[in-house]
Structure 1
């Protein structure tokens, strides 16, 4: 058995942030090379702290879904996942045994040499007859002053393409460092210019910032009066959304340290947790806000508040992905980064096989079944707030200054709306949903949403009681 885990950044505010990772997970799942493909996030669920618990196999490969090396891939992900590694990741990755699982952690997909082909594919989509006679290529990176590694990959790709002789000139330009993208009319001479954004996803930068900085009006823009004469710019889609990235991810997984072995076994704690859940599901079970009802050979999921409503009044979902997309937003259309908040949308039912029920529940309440079972077996160790705070770095380091009263003030505001019981704050959970108490769900550690809100509280930006949305 083998598990593949794709790690994205995610967002507390924006539901679009996670979509690219979901898409690649689906593409890879269809190929059947791994027994399971699981998504994990820094700012959504399952969190980096929980995600290993959700893998069914003892052989796990973890791939950071980032376009370049940097703070997240070198500091945050290894720290939060307990990999015991900090700093640059060697080309073959890092392998560790964690709680009986062999975990391989690779470089981010964006630094793989085959990304050069993805850049060229994006260039040809937007200008099929690009030629070394009259066409320039701009590889456009984000750039940052925080980590010198992040621009390296943009230069490497530009060099590789330059050496291949497919374009008259190849330039690496950046949004946030020199040479800046706005200087392109002075530096690029060719009459036709293809711009390929070396970005992970379509977003603010690719849709707004870059077109603004370059003066683009669409996919093709004419510049009749540039310093080097008339120029036409062809603006490609970002590399990170190309379907070929799925191949790059699989290459990385194959090349990961020790990946060619026989694979792993079923992870016993994980399997026992799901068997306990399925036993309850076969009898009918309420977990949090969800009702699980057995029907002839299948299972129905619905919001418990919709109990008794005829199926015809509800939207019927038949895949785990359908459930995932349904529960990611509240009835009011708000993004739900924390799935155990009491705001599960209503008006739907899912009819699923037993295999699909497992995946659907993983989307509805990520890590809840594994953590609750571990708690009931006295194997879930809470992490006190002070330990979580000490681990934070970068912009979150300031939560270390929070007073107990400030932390409690945030918790009263945020955690009161959550189904979980705060073991990390010393609360006790005597019965769980596995014992028939629907809201019996443990919280072993303050989530990243709470950490972000505590940071706002310490900065004096949270205002009275309402959620601030500046993170």
Structure 2
């Protein structure tokens, strides 16, 4: 029996407001695990993309939830930020009838060593290890020493494992030893550089290549130039082989499952497959909504065919016969990714969904999955709102829990908060209806008040907002910084 057949898996990634590269591996690993049928439900959430860590709970029905951070180290994010955002208080948290199991991040699992060795051989096929230096690159940070420790541990494991490399060294973007000194840190004629990151993003496509000397300055992303297919690079009298981020390995899906197994072993979790299968409550609500004539959500039109199948398209494309046809629920992830101009849509509820496509789906389950890709957590939030169980986070509470570079965001004034919400959350920027107040018992007012009113058609499901998004936090930081600069100027006068 499958011990997790009635449980859900949530994989957490960092995400980005700039490009889809950061979240792509997390989505890929989730899809691979979903296809194996190990868990009843497999979903993703992100720090910088949708759904966030408060919304994602509304996407799953299961009473047992495993959470695996798709992060490299057990440092600042995994020990401080994620538990805070997920509202968990340890490895096991019981809340609202759910049992939430928080696993270790993927980067510290022993099998990462195997993946590093595999990646090094793949990037330099046929090159003798004895004539090769292996450089494992990390970011480097003073926020938490564990962020560096995980890379140092991998270097020690490969060295002590006698895997045949001439030398194995760690290097960092912002700490000593610096990756820019790779030729001074190594002696072999061949050098293999593997970024110990979860995703190929700006660091691996731009920053590290510049530090290595592969490029003189940051410009167009090297991903567009096929950087990983140009090996070897003749630099500083050596042959340098540059790899993609370790987190893009397809076998990372196995590491995610390994961390679940490690959690069960460490905490004595028994086979729970004999327990009752939770009700597909969200799926049931979706069926009810469709029967009642609810056939729109956001910019999506839903058509129920006579044979019980479903077709989705942009609302403005209803009735068109020349649409590009897709047939997989996962295609929605890519249809929703970019706008008509090809720009990344980090905010799924922005009214920028591109047109010209149709998505034909065979089952209600596929329809739900596709809609979750188009509008993450939207169905679950409507379901919870109708049940009266949906909880919201006041803006002041959200800003008050920020740390690091965002810790001063709560210093903005109330009028500034109302004006910011009125501008940032206007319907031309986001289609959601705000449910959260400024403070408990103190609703939004002035410019922000209109965003708290229902804004959807009678035949449409609403897009609800239970907590201010990362764009709002960034906007608040900008205002707070301008306030501080203005105060400083006045004091100087």
TM-score band, normalised by shorter chain: 0.7 to 0.9
SS in 1 for 2:234: strand
SS in 1 for 2:471: helix
* 1-structure distance, mates of 2:240, 2:349: 47
* Alpha-carbon spacing, 1:219–1:77, altered in 2? closer, same or farther (3 Å): same
* 1-structure distance, mates of 2:89, 2:478: 29
Question: Contact between 1:291 and 1:301, CA under 8 Å: does it hold in 2?
Answer: yes
Please report the RMSD computed on the Cα atoms of aligned residues, expressed in angstroms: 2.4
Shift of 1:259: 4.7
What is the match of residue 107 of structure 1?
A: 104
SS in 1 for 2:52: coil
Question: Contact between 2:58 and 2:384, CA under 8 Å: does it hold in 1?
Answer: no
What is the match of residue 358 of structure 2?
A: 349
What is the match of residue 23 of structure 1?
A: 28
Question: Contact between 1:432 and 1:438, CA under 8 Å: does it hold in 2?
Answer: no
Question: Contact between 1:432 and 1:439, CA under 8 Å: does it hold in 2?
Answer: no
* 2-structure distance, mates of 1:196, 1:337: 28
| Among 422, 435, 458, the residue aligned to 1:412 | 422
Question: Contact between 2:283 and 2:364, CA under 8 Å: does it hold in 1?
Answer: no
Question: Contact between 2:22 and 2:200, CA under 8 Å: does it hold in 1?
Answer: no
What is the match of residue 206 of structure 1?
A: 204
What is the match of residue 308 of structure 2?
A: 297
Shift of 1:43: 1.7
What is the match of residue 222 of structure 2?
A: none
SS in 2 for 1:424: coil
TM-score, structure 2 length as denominator? 0.84
Question: Contact between 2:23 and 2:199, CA under 8 Å: does it hold in 1?
Answer: no
Shift of 1:162: 0.8
CA displacement 1:372-394 (0-9 Å, x = unmatched) = 22222222233211111111111
What is the match of residue 245 of structure 2?
A: 238
Question: Contact between 1:289 and 1:438, CA under 8 Å: does it hold in 2?
Answer: no
* Alpha-carbon spacing, 1:253–1:178, altered in 2? closer, same or farther (3 Å): same
Shift of 1:409: 1.5
* 1-structure distance, mates of 2:85, 2:276: 24
What is the match of residue 154 of structure 2?
A: 157
Question: Contact between 1:429 and 1:440, CA under 8 Å: does it hold in 2?
Answer: no
* Alpha-carbon spacing, 1:195–1:337, altered in 2? closer, same or farther (3 Å): closer
* Alpha-carbon spacing, 1:208–1:103, altered in 2? closer, same or farther (3 Å): same
| Among 252, 256, 276, the residue aligned to 2:285 | 276
* Alpha-carbon spacing, 1:187–1:343, altered in 2? closer, same or farther (3 Å): closer
Q: Which moved more, 1:396-405 or 1:378-387?
A: 378-387
| Among 328, 346, 364, the residue aligned to 1:337 | 346
| Among 231, 234, 245, the residue aligned to 1:222 | 234
SS in 2 for 1:62: strand
Question: Contact between 1:44 and 1:338, CA under 8 Å: does it hold in 2?
Answer: yes
What is the match of residue 466 of structure 1?
A: none
| Among 387, 392, 400, the residue aligned to 1:382 | 392
Do residues 423 (structure 1) and 435 (structure 2) align? Answer: yes
Matches within 5 A, 1:108-127: 108-127=105-124
CA displacement 1:413-469 (0-9 Å, x = unmatched) = 121123322221326978797x945264432222222122221222239xxxxxxxx
Shift of 1:191: 2.4
The gaps in structure 2 that reach 5 residues or longer are 1-5, 216-229, 438-442, 444-448, 484-493
* 2-structure distance, mates of 1:357, 1:347: 19
Do residues 442 (structure 1) and 464 (structure 2) align? Answer: yes
* 2-structure distance, mates of 1:36, 1:381: 22
Question: Contact between 2:382 and 2:461, CA under 8 Å: does it hold in 1?
Answer: no
Shift of 1:203: 2.2
Would you say how many aligned residue pairs link Structure 1 and Structure 2? Answer: 443
* Alpha-carbon spacing, 1:222–1:335, altered in 2? closer, same or farther (3 Å): closer
